Amino acid sequence: MSLKDLLDNNTDDSLSGQKWRILRQSIVKRLLSAGNATIAELSSELQSSVPTITKAINELLLEGYVVDMGKITNSGGRRPSLYSINPTCAFFLGVEVSRTSISIGLQNIKNEFISIDLRTSFALKNSQESLLEFCDLINSFIEDSSVEKEMIVGVCINFSGRINSMEGFSYNYFFSENRPLTEIISEQLNLPVHLENDTRAMAFGEYCEGVVDDEQNIIFLNYSWGVAIGIISDGKLYYGKSGYSGEFGHSTIFDNEIMCQCGKLGCLETEISGWSLVNQFKAALKEGKQSKITLNDNSDLQHLDIIAGAINLEDSLCVELVTKQSEKMGRYLSILLNIFNPDLLVIGGDFSQLGDYALLPIQSALKKHSLGLVNRDMKLKKSTLGLRAGVIGACCVIKEKMLSPLVNN
C-alpha cells in the first residue's frame, strides 16, 4: 500500500476510529522524523500502552508502511525488534525544466533515488505542443522506472520565473487564465502536481540534502542563465506575501540602457548572468580579443560553453569574463548580507561549477563591500548537489508538502 492511503484513510469517522488513525499516523510521523524505534520507545514517546502500540505496528507491518529491521542487542533479557519506515511505501517525483532540457528524478521516502535522468534534451516553448511533449516525457520516465504510478505520492515541477505555488500558475510558461497549470498537468499524469520556482526548490534541496549543516537562515544564489535567490528563514522557505520573493536578478541596478529579459532596463542580469556573459563574450571577440572557443555566425553559443572554456581549456578570455562577473556579483550580494545577516550563503547554479574562479572573486568582494561584523558571522559555501540540485529540491518540496499532515500535526 502507498503512504497516501494512510493519509487519506478517513473511512471510520467514529471517535475510536479517529483516535486509532491518529495513533497510526503518529507512529509513522515518529519514524519519519526521528528514525528507527522499538515498541517500548514508541510506547513511551507516544504515551500509549505497549499492547496498543504492538497492535498498531502489526497492522502497519501487514499493510507495508513499516518494516522490521531485526533484533537489537541490549544488556540482558529479551531482545526487542527495531522498526523503520518501509522505503518503498511512498515515492516522490521531482522535475526541473530549463530552456533547453528537462531533469527528472524519483526518490523513495528515505531520499534515495530510484531513477534519475539529468538534462534530457527538451526545447521549452510556450505552446500546447510543448506542454504535451513535456507531459509525455514525464509519463515515459515513470513507465521506464520500476515503480508503479499509484505508489507515487506527488510530483513537484520547477519552472524559472514567476510561479504562484499556492494557486498552481506559471506566468512565464503555459499560462492559462482559466485553469491552473497544476490542474492541466495533473490530468495528463494522473498524479497530484505542485509547481515551484526553480531557485526556491534548489535552495530547499540544499537545505535538506546538501551543504547546509545546522544553519537555519540561508541565502541560496542560483547563478545560471538568469540570477535569483532562494531564502530559508528559520528553517523554512520564504515566499513573501505573493509568493514571488527572490527576484534578485531583476533589481534595477545599472544605468546601462540594456533591455533585460523581464522588459526593464538596467537589471542586475544585464551585466551579471549567463545570457549577459554570452553577450560580453561576443562583444570581446568583435573587439579583437582571442579565444580557444571558435564562434561561427550560426553557432548557438551558451553560457555553459564559456564556463567549460574557463574550466577545461583555461581560456584566458573565458577566465577574464567569469572573474569580472563574479567580482561584480560579490559586490551586490554584499547588499543582501547587510540586509538579511544570514548564517550561510550558498553559491549554486551553473556558475558554481567554476569553483575558485567564481568563489574567490565573490568572497573578496563580499569582504570589501559588506559590513565586517556581518561577513565575519557568515559562512560561504559552494553547492554540493550540482546538476541534481533542482531535482533533489523538487523531491524535497513535494515530500514536505504531501507529508505535512503527518509531520506537522
Burial of 134 (0-12, 13-18, 19+ CB in 10 A): buried
Q: Measuring CA to CA, how many Å separate 100 from each of 94, 118, 134, 301? A: 17, 12, 12, 13
Residue 350 within any structural domain of the chain: yes
Residue type, 255: D
Are 259 and 152 in a shared domain? no
User: Hey, CA dihedral for 358, 382, 269, 391, is it positive or negative?
Assistant: positive
Cell 502536481, located at residue: 193
Dihedral sign, Cα of residue 313, residue 316, residue 318, residue 323? positive
DSSP state of 294: -
Pick the closest to residue 53 from 87, 30, 35 (CA basis): 30
Q: What's the farthest any 2 CA atoms get from each other in the chain?
A: 83
Task: Name the domain count of the chain.
Answer: 3
Cα 169 to Cα 163, 177, 263: the distances in Å are: 6, 9, 20
Residues 275 and 316 placed together within one structural domain of the fold: yes
| 156, 28: one domain | no
**Are residues 181 and 78 both part of a single domain?**
no
Q: What is the DSSP letter of 79?
A: P
pLDDT in tens, the chain (409 residues): 667 677 666 666 677 888 888 888 889 888 887 789 999 999 999 999 999 999 999 999 998 899 999 988 766 667 889 999 998 888 999 999 988 899 999 999 889 999 999 999 998 988 899 999 999 999 999 999 989 998 999 999 999 888 989 889 988 888 877 889 999 999 999 999 999 999 999 999 999 999 999 999 999 999 999 999 999 999 999 999 888 899 999 999 999 999 998 899 999 999 999 999 999 999 999 999 999 987 765 568 899 999 999 999 999 999 999 999 999 999 999 999 999 999 999 999 999 999 999 999 999 999 999 998 888 889 999 999 988 999 999 999 999 888 776 655 5
What are the cell numbers at 283? 562583444
The per-residue pLDDT for 175 is: 80
- 246 and 296: one domain? yes
Please say whether the beta carbons of 345 and 216 come within 8 A: no
How far, in whole angstroms, is CA 179 from its chain's centroid? 25
Q: pLDDT tens-digit profile of 234-292?
A: 999 999 988 889 999 999 999 999 999 889 999 999 999 999 999 999 999 999 999 99
Cell of 249: 536578478
Look at residue 323 and tell me if it is in a domain. Answer: yes
285 and 368 in a single domain? The answer is yes
For residue 282, how far is the Cα from the chain centroid? Answer: 32
Last residue of a domain, one of 28, 61, 85: 85
**d(C-alpha 31, C-alpha 36), whole Å:** 6
Residues 72 and 131 in one domain: no
What stretch of H or E contains 340? helix 316-340
Residue 207 included in any domain: no
Q: What are the residues facing 66 on neighbouring strands?
A: 85
Per-residue pLDDT at 193 = 96
Domain hosting residue 75, numbered range: 3-85
Distance CA 83, CA 59 (A): 13
The conformation of residue 245, written as its DSSP 8-state character, comes to T
Q: How many CA atoms, within 13 angstroms, populate the side-chain half-sphere of residue 315?
A: 21
In 3D space, the residue among 111, 150, 158 whose CA is nearest the CA of residue 134 turns out to be: 158
Q: Are residues 81 and 101 in the same domain?
A: no
Instruction: Describe the chain by its helix, strand, coil percentages, rounded to 5.
Output: 45, 20, 35
306: domain CATH number is: 3.30.420.40
The answer to whether position 208 is within a domain reads no
What's the pLDDT at 1?
61
Cell numbers 504531501 correspond to 402
